[in-house]
Protein backbone atom coordinates (compact mmCIF):
# COMPACT_ATOMS: atom_id res chain seq x y z
CA UNK A 1 0.00 0.00 0.00
CA UNK A 2 1.17 3.50 -0.84
CA UNK A 3 2.27 5.51 2.21
CA UNK A 4 -0.37 8.07 3.16
CA UNK A 5 2.09 11.02 3.11
CA UNK A 6 2.81 10.60 -0.58
CA UNK A 7 -0.90 10.72 -1.38
CA UNK A 8 -1.43 13.86 0.69
CA UNK A 9 1.09 15.77 -1.42
CA UNK A 10 -1.37 16.26 -4.20
CA UNK A 11 -0.50 18.31 -7.26
CA UNK A 12 -3.30 20.77 -6.59
CA UNK A 13 -3.99 23.77 -4.49
CA UNK A 14 -3.89 26.38 -7.19
CA UNK A 15 -0.87 24.95 -8.97
CA UNK A 16 0.00 22.13 -11.30
CA UNK A 17 3.56 21.19 -12.07
CA UNK A 18 4.74 24.25 -10.15
CA UNK A 19 2.72 26.76 -12.22
CA UNK A 20 0.54 28.77 -9.86
CA UNK A 21 -2.88 30.11 -10.70
CA UNK A 22 -2.78 33.76 -11.73
CA UNK A 23 -4.93 36.73 -10.80
CA UNK A 24 -7.16 37.79 -13.72
CA UNK A 25 -5.52 40.30 -16.04
CA UNK A 26 -7.15 43.67 -16.77
CA UNK A 27 -7.78 42.42 -20.32
CA UNK A 28 -9.61 39.31 -19.07
CA UNK A 29 -11.78 41.37 -16.73
CA UNK A 30 -12.72 43.86 -19.41
CA UNK A 31 -13.47 41.09 -21.94
CA UNK A 32 -15.71 39.33 -19.42
CA UNK A 33 -17.44 42.60 -18.54
CA UNK A 34 -18.17 43.14 -22.23
CA UNK A 35 -19.32 39.55 -22.80
CA UNK A 36 -21.61 39.39 -19.75
CA UNK A 37 -22.98 42.93 -19.65
CA UNK A 38 -23.76 44.98 -16.54
CA UNK A 39 -26.13 42.37 -15.01
CA UNK A 40 -23.57 39.64 -15.47
CA UNK A 41 -20.38 41.32 -14.27
CA UNK A 42 -19.45 43.37 -11.23
CA UNK A 43 -16.21 44.21 -9.49
CA UNK A 44 -17.95 46.57 -7.06
CA UNK A 45 -17.01 45.49 -3.51
CA UNK A 46 -20.56 46.30 -2.29
CA UNK A 47 -22.12 43.92 -4.82
CA UNK A 48 -19.67 41.17 -3.90
CA UNK A 49 -19.66 41.56 -0.12
CA UNK A 50 -22.71 39.40 0.79
CA UNK A 51 -21.31 36.47 -1.22
CA UNK A 52 -17.82 36.42 0.24
CA UNK A 53 -18.76 34.96 3.63
CA UNK A 54 -20.26 31.54 4.28
CA UNK A 55 -23.64 30.96 5.97
CA UNK A 56 -22.12 30.26 9.38
CA UNK A 57 -19.70 33.20 9.11
CA UNK A 58 -16.66 30.98 9.54
CA UNK A 59 -14.83 31.96 6.34
CA UNK A 60 -14.17 35.34 4.81
CA UNK A 61 -13.05 35.36 1.18
CA UNK A 62 -12.31 37.86 -1.55
CA UNK A 63 -12.76 37.85 -5.33
CA UNK A 64 -11.56 39.87 -8.28
CA UNK A 65 -15.09 40.03 -9.72
CA UNK A 66 -18.55 38.54 -9.44
CA UNK A 67 -19.73 36.87 -12.64
CA UNK A 68 -23.42 36.07 -13.12
CA UNK A 69 -23.85 34.36 -16.50
CA UNK A 70 -27.41 33.88 -17.80
CA UNK A 71 -26.76 31.01 -20.23
CA UNK A 72 -24.63 27.89 -20.47
CA UNK A 73 -22.92 29.51 -23.46
CA UNK A 74 -21.82 32.42 -21.25
CA UNK A 75 -20.50 29.92 -18.71
CA UNK A 76 -18.47 28.32 -21.51
CA UNK A 77 -16.96 31.66 -22.46
CA UNK A 78 -15.92 32.29 -18.85
CA UNK A 79 -14.47 28.84 -18.24
CA UNK A 80 -12.58 28.70 -21.54
CA UNK A 81 -10.90 32.05 -20.85
CA UNK A 82 -10.09 31.13 -17.24
CA UNK A 83 -8.58 27.81 -18.38
CA UNK A 84 -6.33 29.46 -20.95
CA UNK A 85 -5.23 32.15 -18.50
CA UNK A 86 -5.03 29.88 -15.41
CA UNK A 87 -7.48 31.87 -13.35
CA UNK A 88 -9.41 30.23 -10.49
CA UNK A 89 -13.22 30.07 -10.60
CA UNK A 90 -15.47 29.51 -7.58
CA UNK A 91 -19.01 28.38 -8.41
CA UNK A 92 -21.69 29.58 -6.03
CA UNK A 93 -25.43 28.84 -5.82
CA UNK A 94 -27.40 29.75 -2.69
CA UNK A 95 -24.26 30.06 -0.54
CA UNK A 96 -25.69 27.77 2.15
CA UNK A 97 -22.67 25.45 2.26
CA UNK A 98 -21.84 24.20 5.75
CA UNK A 99 -18.17 23.63 4.85
CA UNK A 100 -17.11 26.90 3.23
CA UNK A 101 -17.41 25.25 -0.18
CA UNK A 102 -18.61 28.33 -2.04
CA UNK A 103 -16.38 30.91 -0.35
CA UNK A 104 -13.36 31.97 -2.39
CA UNK A 105 -9.94 32.21 -0.85
CA UNK A 106 -8.90 35.39 0.92
CA UNK A 107 -6.18 36.24 -1.64
CA UNK A 108 -8.84 37.63 -4.00
CA UNK A 109 -7.27 36.06 -7.12
CA UNK A 110 -10.30 33.97 -8.07
CA UNK A 111 -13.49 34.93 -9.86
CA UNK A 112 -16.77 34.15 -8.13
CA UNK A 113 -19.30 32.62 -10.52
CA UNK A 114 -22.86 32.96 -9.27
CA UNK A 115 -25.57 30.84 -10.90
CA UNK A 116 -28.41 33.14 -9.81
CA UNK A 117 -29.32 34.10 -13.41
CA UNK A 118 -29.41 30.49 -14.61
CA UNK A 119 -32.87 30.35 -13.13
CA UNK A 120 -35.27 28.72 -15.60
CA UNK A 121 -37.18 25.49 -15.30
CA UNK A 122 -36.64 24.40 -18.89
CA UNK A 123 -39.18 21.59 -19.05
CA UNK A 124 -41.33 19.21 -17.07
CA UNK A 125 -42.61 15.94 -18.45
CA UNK A 126 -45.29 13.98 -16.64
CA UNK A 127 -44.70 11.03 -18.97
CA UNK A 128 -40.98 10.98 -18.10
CA UNK A 129 -41.67 11.87 -14.46
CA UNK A 130 -38.81 14.37 -14.72
CA UNK A 131 -38.08 18.06 -14.87
CA UNK A 132 -35.09 19.97 -16.20
CA UNK A 133 -34.01 22.91 -14.05
CA UNK A 134 -31.11 25.28 -14.54
CA UNK A 135 -28.44 25.40 -11.86
CA UNK A 136 -29.66 28.57 -10.13
CA UNK A 137 -33.24 27.38 -9.62
CA UNK A 138 -34.02 27.32 -5.89
CA UNK A 139 -35.25 24.09 -4.30
CA UNK A 140 -38.66 25.51 -3.28
CA UNK A 141 -39.23 26.48 -6.94
CA UNK A 142 -38.54 22.88 -7.96
CA UNK A 143 -41.03 21.70 -5.31
CA UNK A 144 -43.66 24.17 -6.55
CA UNK A 145 -43.22 23.27 -10.23
CA UNK A 146 -43.50 19.56 -9.45
CA UNK A 147 -46.58 20.11 -7.29
CA UNK A 148 -48.34 22.13 -9.98
CA UNK A 149 -47.93 19.13 -12.28
CA UNK A 150 -49.29 16.68 -9.69
CA UNK A 151 -45.82 15.33 -8.94
CA UNK A 152 -43.22 15.71 -6.21
CA UNK A 153 -39.47 16.22 -6.04
CA UNK A 154 -38.74 14.20 -2.91
CA UNK A 155 -35.70 15.94 -1.43
CA UNK A 156 -36.01 18.68 1.16
CA UNK A 157 -33.86 20.48 3.70
CA UNK A 158 -33.89 23.48 6.00
CA UNK A 159 -32.17 25.70 3.44
CA UNK A 160 -34.77 24.93 0.74
CA UNK A 161 -35.60 28.63 0.30
CA UNK A 162 -32.00 29.42 -0.79
CA UNK A 163 -30.22 26.21 -1.86
CA UNK A 164 -30.04 25.79 -5.64
CA UNK A 165 -30.15 22.85 -8.01
CA UNK A 166 -26.45 23.34 -8.86
CA UNK A 167 -25.43 23.43 -5.20
CA UNK A 168 -27.61 20.46 -4.29
CA UNK A 169 -26.15 18.43 -7.16
CA UNK A 170 -22.58 19.47 -6.44
CA UNK A 171 -22.80 18.59 -2.74
CA UNK A 172 -24.89 15.44 -3.30
CA UNK A 173 -27.21 16.95 -0.71
CA UNK A 174 -29.21 14.69 1.57
CA UNK A 175 -31.85 16.19 3.84
CA UNK A 176 -34.92 14.73 5.46
CA UNK A 177 -36.37 12.28 2.89
CA UNK A 178 -33.21 10.27 2.16
CA UNK A 179 -34.61 7.36 4.17
CA UNK A 180 -36.99 6.59 1.32
CA UNK A 181 -35.67 8.32 -1.78
CA UNK A 182 -31.90 8.59 -1.28
CA UNK A 183 -29.73 11.71 -1.72
CA UNK A 184 -29.30 13.78 -4.90
CA UNK A 185 -27.21 10.96 -6.39
CA UNK A 186 -30.34 8.84 -6.73
CA UNK A 187 -32.55 11.69 -7.94
CA UNK A 188 -30.45 13.19 -10.74
CA UNK A 189 -31.15 11.62 -14.12
CA UNK A 190 -28.93 13.83 -16.22
CA UNK A 191 -26.61 16.81 -16.13
CA UNK A 192 -25.50 19.61 -18.40
CA UNK A 193 -22.16 21.04 -17.31
CA UNK A 194 -19.25 23.10 -18.54
CA UNK A 195 -16.07 21.09 -17.99
CA UNK A 196 -12.79 22.74 -16.92
CA UNK A 197 -11.52 23.00 -20.53
CA UNK A 198 -14.60 24.99 -21.52
CA UNK A 199 -16.39 22.13 -23.31
CA UNK A 200 -20.11 21.61 -22.75
CA UNK A 201 -21.23 18.18 -21.57
CA UNK A 202 -24.85 17.82 -22.73
CA UNK A 203 -26.04 14.92 -20.62
CA UNK A 204 -29.55 16.05 -19.78
CA UNK A 205 -31.47 13.01 -20.99
CA UNK A 206 -33.84 11.44 -18.50
CA UNK A 207 -32.66 7.89 -19.20
CA UNK A 208 -33.22 5.41 -16.37
CA UNK A 209 -30.64 3.05 -17.84
CA UNK A 210 -27.38 4.04 -19.52
CA UNK A 211 -24.23 1.96 -19.33
CA UNK A 212 -21.90 3.78 -21.71
CA UNK A 213 -18.81 3.44 -19.56
CA UNK A 214 -17.82 5.76 -16.73
CA UNK A 215 -20.66 7.93 -15.45
CA UNK A 216 -19.50 11.54 -15.71
CA UNK A 217 -22.76 12.71 -14.14
CA UNK A 218 -21.96 10.81 -10.94
CA UNK A 219 -18.51 12.42 -10.77
CA UNK A 220 -20.06 15.87 -11.01
CA UNK A 221 -22.62 14.96 -8.33
CA UNK A 222 -20.78 15.59 -5.06
CA UNK A 223 -17.85 17.09 -7.01
CA UNK A 224 -18.19 20.37 -5.07
CA UNK A 225 -17.52 22.42 -8.18
CA UNK A 226 -14.01 20.99 -8.58
CA UNK A 227 -14.70 19.20 -11.88
CA UNK A 228 -16.87 21.70 -13.70
CA UNK A 229 -19.85 24.01 -13.52
CA UNK A 230 -23.25 22.35 -13.55
CA UNK A 231 -25.54 24.50 -15.69
CA UNK A 232 -28.71 22.35 -15.54
CA UNK A 233 -29.96 19.03 -14.22
CA UNK A 234 -32.70 16.61 -15.11
CA UNK A 235 -34.41 15.60 -11.85
CA UNK A 236 -36.52 12.57 -11.06
CA UNK A 237 -40.09 13.21 -9.91
CA UNK A 238 -42.37 10.86 -8.00
CA UNK A 239 -46.18 10.81 -7.73
CA UNK A 240 -47.72 13.39 -5.42
CA UNK A 241 -48.77 11.78 -2.15
CA UNK A 242 -52.46 11.10 -1.55
CA UNK A 243 -52.09 12.02 2.12
CA UNK A 244 -49.35 12.58 4.67
CA UNK A 245 -49.16 12.32 8.42
CA UNK A 246 -46.62 14.12 10.59
CA UNK A 247 -46.05 13.11 14.21
CA UNK A 248 -43.79 14.16 17.07
CA UNK A 249 -42.93 11.30 19.42
CA UNK A 250 -41.16 11.38 22.79
CA UNK A 251 -38.85 8.41 23.37
CA UNK A 252 -36.38 7.27 26.01
CA UNK A 253 -33.18 6.80 24.00
CA UNK A 254 -31.65 6.69 20.51
CA UNK A 255 -31.73 2.87 20.77
CA UNK A 256 -35.51 3.04 21.29
CA UNK A 257 -35.75 5.44 18.35
CA UNK A 258 -34.09 2.87 16.12
CA UNK A 259 -36.37 0.10 17.45
CA UNK A 260 -39.39 2.31 16.76
CA UNK A 261 -38.19 3.01 13.20
CA UNK A 262 -37.71 -0.67 12.38
CA UNK A 263 -41.02 -1.55 14.00
CA UNK A 264 -42.87 1.12 12.01
CA UNK A 265 -41.18 0.01 8.79
CA UNK A 266 -42.20 -3.56 9.53
CA UNK A 267 -45.82 -2.46 9.81
CA UNK A 268 -45.99 0.36 7.30
CA UNK A 269 -43.17 -0.39 4.88
CA UNK A 270 -41.70 2.33 2.72
CA UNK A 271 -44.38 4.82 3.59
CA UNK A 272 -42.18 6.02 6.48
CA UNK A 273 -40.36 8.85 4.69
CA UNK A 274 -38.70 10.85 7.41
CA UNK A 275 -37.43 9.87 10.83
CA UNK A 276 -35.49 12.71 12.45
CA UNK A 277 -33.94 12.62 15.92
CA UNK A 278 -34.24 15.74 18.10
CA UNK A 279 -32.83 15.74 21.64
CA UNK A 280 -34.24 17.92 24.42
CA UNK A 281 -31.36 20.47 24.36
CA UNK A 282 -31.93 21.06 20.65
CA UNK A 283 -35.69 21.51 21.08
CA UNK A 284 -35.05 23.93 23.95
CA UNK A 285 -32.65 25.92 21.78
CA UNK A 286 -35.22 26.17 18.95
CA UNK A 287 -37.94 27.23 21.41
CA UNK A 288 -35.60 29.88 22.77
CA UNK A 289 -34.32 31.34 19.51
CA UNK A 290 -37.06 30.90 16.90
CA UNK A 291 -40.15 33.08 17.28
CA UNK A 292 -43.60 31.47 17.13
CA UNK A 293 -42.47 27.89 17.81
CA UNK A 294 -44.32 25.84 20.45
CA UNK A 295 -43.29 22.63 22.25
CA UNK A 296 -45.29 19.78 20.67
CA UNK A 297 -45.70 17.70 23.86
CA UNK A 298 -46.54 18.64 27.46
CA UNK A 299 -43.25 17.19 28.67
CA UNK A 300 -39.80 17.96 27.27
CA UNK A 301 -38.57 14.42 26.65
CA UNK A 302 -34.87 13.61 26.60
CA UNK A 303 -35.26 12.35 23.02
CA UNK A 304 -37.85 12.95 20.31
CA UNK A 305 -38.43 11.86 16.76
CA UNK A 306 -40.23 13.69 14.00
CA UNK A 307 -41.90 11.14 11.75
CA UNK A 308 -43.49 11.69 8.35
CA UNK A 309 -45.57 8.99 6.76
CA UNK A 310 -46.96 9.27 3.24
CA UNK A 311 -49.72 7.20 1.68
CA UNK A 312 -51.07 7.04 -1.88
CA UNK A 313 -54.56 6.93 -0.34
CA UNK A 314 -56.22 10.32 0.07
CA UNK A 315 -58.04 11.97 2.96
CA UNK A 316 -57.02 10.75 6.37
CA UNK A 317 -55.48 7.45 5.29
CA UNK A 318 -51.93 8.36 6.35
CA UNK A 319 -53.22 9.65 9.72
CA UNK A 320 -55.15 6.42 10.26
CA UNK A 321 -52.11 4.28 9.49
CA UNK A 322 -49.73 6.13 11.77
CA UNK A 323 -52.14 6.64 14.65
CA UNK A 324 -52.90 2.94 14.85
CA UNK A 325 -49.18 2.12 14.81
CA UNK A 326 -48.31 4.80 17.35
CA UNK A 327 -51.09 3.68 19.69
CA UNK A 328 -49.45 0.27 19.80
CA UNK A 329 -46.02 1.81 20.33
CA UNK A 330 -47.41 3.82 23.26
CA UNK A 331 -49.05 0.72 24.75
CA UNK A 332 -45.82 -1.23 24.53
CA UNK A 333 -43.80 1.61 26.10
CA UNK A 334 -41.60 2.08 23.03
CA UNK A 335 -43.07 5.56 22.62
CA UNK A 336 -43.54 7.72 25.73
CA UNK A 337 -45.91 10.29 24.27
CA UNK A 338 -46.95 11.36 20.80
CA UNK A 339 -48.62 14.22 18.99
CA UNK A 340 -50.12 13.73 15.55
CA UNK A 341 -50.54 16.92 13.53
CA UNK A 342 -54.26 17.53 13.13
CA UNK A 343 -53.94 19.97 10.23
CA UNK A 344 -51.52 21.03 7.51
CA UNK A 345 -50.66 24.07 9.65
CA UNK A 346 -49.71 21.83 12.56
CA UNK A 347 -47.68 19.57 10.27
CA UNK A 348 -45.78 22.59 9.00
CA UNK A 349 -45.30 23.75 12.60
CA UNK A 350 -43.61 20.45 13.50
CA UNK A 351 -41.40 20.64 10.43
CA UNK A 352 -40.56 24.26 11.29
CA UNK A 353 -39.03 23.03 14.55
CA UNK A 354 -36.84 20.57 12.69
CA UNK A 355 -35.88 22.91 9.88
CA UNK A 356 -34.97 25.75 12.26
CA UNK A 357 -32.39 23.75 14.19
CA UNK A 358 -29.41 25.02 12.17
CA UNK A 359 -30.57 28.63 12.55
CA UNK A 360 -31.10 28.22 16.33
CA UNK A 361 -27.69 26.63 16.59
CA UNK A 362 -26.11 29.51 14.69
CA UNK A 363 -27.76 31.98 17.09
CA UNK A 364 -26.54 29.90 20.05
CA UNK A 365 -22.95 30.74 19.10
CA UNK A 366 -19.93 28.82 17.85
CA UNK A 367 -19.84 25.04 18.19
CA UNK A 368 -17.61 22.24 16.98
CA UNK A 369 -19.72 20.81 14.15
CA UNK A 370 -19.56 17.30 12.74
CA UNK A 371 -21.67 15.76 9.99
CA UNK A 372 -21.07 12.06 10.49
CA UNK A 373 -22.59 8.78 9.46
CA UNK A 374 -22.12 5.26 10.77
CA UNK A 375 -23.99 2.05 9.87
CA UNK A 376 -27.48 2.67 11.28
CA UNK A 377 -27.38 -0.34 13.60
CA UNK A 378 -24.15 1.02 15.20
CA UNK A 379 -25.52 4.49 15.87
CA UNK A 380 -26.76 4.04 19.48
CA UNK A 381 -23.48 2.40 20.52
CA UNK A 382 -21.45 5.08 18.73
CA UNK A 383 -23.41 7.75 20.61
CA UNK A 384 -22.73 6.09 23.99
CA UNK A 385 -19.01 5.72 23.23
CA UNK A 386 -18.65 9.26 21.91
CA UNK A 387 -20.46 10.77 24.89
CA UNK A 388 -18.25 8.89 27.36
CA UNK A 389 -15.07 9.90 25.52
CA UNK A 390 -16.10 13.56 25.25
CA UNK A 391 -17.16 13.79 28.90
CA UNK A 392 -13.81 12.29 29.89
CA UNK A 393 -11.66 14.42 27.58
CA UNK A 394 -13.59 17.71 27.49
CA UNK A 395 -15.48 18.23 30.76
CA UNK A 396 -18.13 20.96 30.75
CA UNK A 397 -18.92 20.65 27.02
CA UNK A 398 -22.46 19.92 25.82
CA UNK A 399 -23.25 17.47 23.03
CA UNK A 400 -26.08 18.52 20.73
CA UNK A 401 -26.46 15.65 18.28
CA UNK A 402 -29.51 15.65 16.04
CA UNK A 403 -30.62 14.66 12.60
CA UNK A 404 -31.22 11.95 10.13
CA UNK A 405 -31.27 8.90 12.39
CA UNK A 406 -32.87 6.69 9.75
CA UNK A 407 -29.83 7.29 7.52
CA UNK A 408 -27.27 6.76 10.30
CA UNK A 409 -26.39 10.47 9.85
CA UNK A 410 -26.13 12.80 12.83
CA UNK A 411 -25.03 16.39 13.10
CA UNK A 412 -22.85 15.57 16.07
CA UNK A 413 -22.14 19.06 17.39
CA UNK A 414 -20.42 19.97 20.63
CA UNK A 415 -20.85 23.28 22.45
CA UNK A 416 -17.92 24.67 24.45
CA UNK A 417 -18.22 25.06 28.25
CA UNK A 418 -20.67 27.86 29.11
CA UNK A 419 -18.30 29.86 31.33
CA UNK A 420 -15.72 31.37 29.02
CA UNK A 421 -14.89 32.58 25.54
CA UNK A 422 -16.42 30.02 23.16
CA UNK A 423 -14.32 31.00 20.13
CA UNK A 424 -11.07 30.87 22.13
CA UNK A 425 -12.03 27.48 23.57
CA UNK A 426 -12.71 26.13 20.09
CA UNK A 427 -9.45 27.43 18.67
CA UNK A 428 -7.54 25.52 21.36
CA UNK A 429 -9.70 22.38 21.61
CA UNK A 430 -11.79 22.16 18.42
CA UNK A 431 -9.24 20.20 16.40
CA UNK A 432 -8.68 17.65 19.18
CA UNK A 433 -12.43 17.25 19.68
CA UNK A 434 -12.96 16.71 15.96
CA UNK A 435 -10.14 14.15 15.78
CA UNK A 436 -11.69 12.25 18.68
CA UNK A 437 -15.15 12.18 17.07
CA UNK A 438 -13.83 11.34 13.61
CA UNK A 439 -11.56 8.57 14.91
CA UNK A 440 -14.54 6.94 16.59
CA UNK A 441 -16.61 7.34 13.43
CA UNK A 442 -13.86 5.83 11.30
CA UNK A 443 -13.41 2.91 13.70
CA UNK A 444 -17.15 2.18 13.30
CA UNK A 445 -16.75 2.11 9.50
CA UNK A 446 -18.44 5.50 9.13
CA UNK A 447 -17.92 8.74 7.21
CA UNK A 448 -16.67 12.13 8.43
CA UNK A 449 -18.91 13.84 5.86
CA UNK A 450 -22.33 12.29 5.45
CA UNK A 451 -24.04 15.04 3.45
CA UNK A 452 -22.34 18.46 3.66
CA UNK A 453 -19.19 17.63 1.68
CA UNK A 454 -15.57 18.55 2.37
CA UNK A 455 -15.30 22.14 1.12
CA UNK A 456 -12.40 23.93 2.79
CA UNK A 457 -13.47 22.90 6.28
CA UNK A 458 -12.66 19.21 6.23
CA UNK A 459 -9.73 18.79 3.85
CA UNK A 460 -7.27 17.98 6.63
CA UNK A 461 -9.59 15.45 8.25
CA UNK A 462 -10.35 13.83 4.89
CA UNK A 463 -6.65 13.39 4.21
CA UNK A 464 -6.02 12.13 7.73
CA UNK A 465 -8.79 9.55 7.79
CA UNK A 466 -9.62 8.47 4.21
CA UNK A 467 -8.46 5.35 2.39
CA UNK A 468 -5.21 6.28 0.57
CA UNK A 469 -6.38 4.44 -2.54
CA UNK A 470 -9.50 6.61 -2.63
CA UNK A 471 -7.49 9.81 -2.18
CA UNK A 472 -5.11 8.82 -4.97
CA UNK A 473 -7.98 7.99 -7.35
CA UNK A 474 -9.74 11.27 -6.56
CA UNK A 475 -6.52 13.23 -7.21
CA UNK A 476 -5.99 11.40 -10.52
CA UNK A 477 -9.53 12.22 -11.67
CA UNK A 478 -9.08 15.87 -10.72
CA UNK A 479 -5.79 16.06 -12.55
CA UNK A 480 -7.23 14.43 -15.67
CA UNK A 481 -10.26 16.72 -15.91
CA UNK A 482 -8.82 19.96 -14.51
CA UNK A 483 -5.07 19.91 -15.19
CA UNK A 484 -4.71 23.64 -14.51
CA UNK A 485 -6.58 23.32 -11.20
CA UNK A 486 -8.86 26.29 -11.96
CA UNK A 487 -12.11 24.82 -10.63
CA UNK A 488 -12.89 25.83 -7.05
CA UNK A 489 -9.27 26.00 -5.88
CA UNK A 490 -8.46 24.70 -2.40
CA UNK A 491 -11.78 22.93 -1.97
CA UNK A 492 -11.79 19.17 -1.47
CA UNK A 493 -8.06 19.23 -2.35
CA UNK A 494 -5.27 21.19 -0.68
Min separation Cβ 80 and ligand FAD, Å? 16
95 binds, among ligand MLT, ligand FAD, none (CB under 5 to 8 A by kind): ligand FAD
The interface region with ligand FAD, picked from 87-95, 320-328, 457-465, 467-475 by CB under 6 A, is 87-95
Report, in Å, the least distance between residue 369 CB and ligand FAD.
11
3-state secondary structure of 234: strand
Residues 468, 446: Cα–Cα separation, whole Å: 16
190 binds ligand FAD (CB under 6 A): no
In the list ligand MLT, ligand FAD, none, the entry touching 308 (Cβ below 5 to 8 angstroms by class) is: none
- As a whole number of Å, the CA-based R_g of the chain is 23
91 touching ligand FAD, by CB under 6 A? yes
409-441 in b/e form (b: 16+ CB < 10 A) is bbbbbbbbeeeeebeebbeebbeebbebbbebb
Q: Does 411 bind ligand MLT (CB under 6 A)?
A: yes
Q: Which is nearer to ligand MLT, 77 or 409 (CB)?
A: 409
Interface map 87-126 toward ligand MLT (x if CB under 6 A): -----------x----------------------------
CA distance 53 to 102: 9
Q: State the Cα–Cα distance between residues 144 and 152, nearest whole angstrom.
A: 8
User: Binding residue for ligand MLT (CB under 6 A) from 196, 366, 403, 455?
Assistant: 403
158 binds ligand MLT per the rule CB under 6 A: yes
* String of DSSP letters for 34-77: HHH-TTTEE--HHHHGGGSB-TTS--B---SEEE--SSHHHHHH
Give counts: helices (H), strands (E), the chain.
18, 20
Q: In the bound complex, what is the minimum distance in angstroms from residue 131's beta carbon to ligand FAD?
A: 17
Task: Give the Cα separation of 296 and 301 in Å (integer).
Answer: 10
97 scored as a contact of ligand FAD (CB under 6 A)? yes
Residue 411 touches which member of ligand MLT, ligand FAD, none, C-beta under 5-8 Å by kind: ligand MLT
Do 47 and 107 form a contact (C-beta atoms < 8 A)? no
130 forms part of the interface with ligand FAD (CB under 6 A): no
Tell me the C-alpha distance between 319 and 494, whole Å: 50
In the complex, least distance from residue 179 CB atom to ligand FAD, rounded to whole angstroms: 12
Check binding of 160 to ligand MLT (CB under 6 A).
no
What's the number of CA atoms in the CB half-sphere (13 Å) around residue 220? 28
Long-range contacts of 383-390 (CB under 8 A, 24+ apart): 383/254, 383/410, 385/440, 386/412, 386/436, 386/437, 386/440, 389/436, 389/440, 390/414, 390/433, 390/436, 390/437
DSSP letter string, 307-372: EEEEESS-TTHHHHHHHHHHHHHHHHTS-SEEEE--SHHHHHHHHHHHHTHHHHHHHH---B--EE
CA-based torsion, 310, 316, 321, 324: positive or negative: positive
By CB under 6 A, the count of residues binding ligand FAD is 39
Pairwise CA distance, residues 161 & 310, whole Å: 23
- Taking CB under 6 A as the binding criterion, the range among 219-227, 261-269, 295-303, 355-363 that sits at the site for ligand MLT is 355-363
For the bound state, the minimum distance from the C-beta of residue 98 to ligand MLT, rounded and expressed in Å, comes to 6
Q: Find the helix packing angle between 422-443 and 379-393, rounded to 10°.
A: 140
CB of 357 to ligand MLT, least distance (A): 5
Q: Could you tell me if 114 and 179 are in contact, meaning their C-beta atoms sit under 8 angstroms apart?
A: no
Where does this chain touch ligand MLT (CB under 6 A) — which range of 227-235, 356-364, 428-436, 484-492?
356-364
Q: How many residues bind ligand MLT (CB under 6 A)?
A: 8
Q: Choosing among ligand MLT, ligand FAD, none, which partner's interface includes residue 301 (Cβ < 5 to 8 Å by kind)?
A: none
485 binds, among ligand FAD, ligand MLT, none (CB under 5 to 8 A by kind): none
Residue 358 touches ligand MLT, criterion: CB under 6 A: yes
The contact pattern for ligand MLT, residues 231-260, with x = CB under 6 A and - = no contact, is ------------------------------
Judged by CB under 6 A, the chain residues 260 through 319 that form the site for ligand FAD are none
Per CB under 6 A, does 357 bind ligand MLT?
yes
Chain positions contacting ligand FAD, by CB under 6 A: 55, 90-98, 101-102, 115, 135, 157-159, 162-164, 166-168, 170-171, 173-175, 224-225, 229-230, 358-359, 451-452, 455, 488, 491
Chain positions contacting ligand MLT, by CB under 6 A: 98, 158, 357-358, 361, 371, 403, 411
Amino acid sequence: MRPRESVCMRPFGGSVGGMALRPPSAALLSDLAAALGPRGFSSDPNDMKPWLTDWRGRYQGAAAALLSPATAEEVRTIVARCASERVGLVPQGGNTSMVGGATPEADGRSLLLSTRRLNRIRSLSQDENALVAEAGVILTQVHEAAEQAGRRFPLSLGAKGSATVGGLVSTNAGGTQVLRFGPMRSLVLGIEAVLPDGSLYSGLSALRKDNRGYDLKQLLIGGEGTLGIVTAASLKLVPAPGSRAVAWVGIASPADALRLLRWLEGRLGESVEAFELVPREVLVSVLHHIPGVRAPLAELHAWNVLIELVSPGSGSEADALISEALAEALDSGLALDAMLAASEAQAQGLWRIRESIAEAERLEGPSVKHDISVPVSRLPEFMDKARAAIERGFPGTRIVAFGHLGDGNLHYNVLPPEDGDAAAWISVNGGKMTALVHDLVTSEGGSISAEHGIGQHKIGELMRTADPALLAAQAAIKKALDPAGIMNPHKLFT
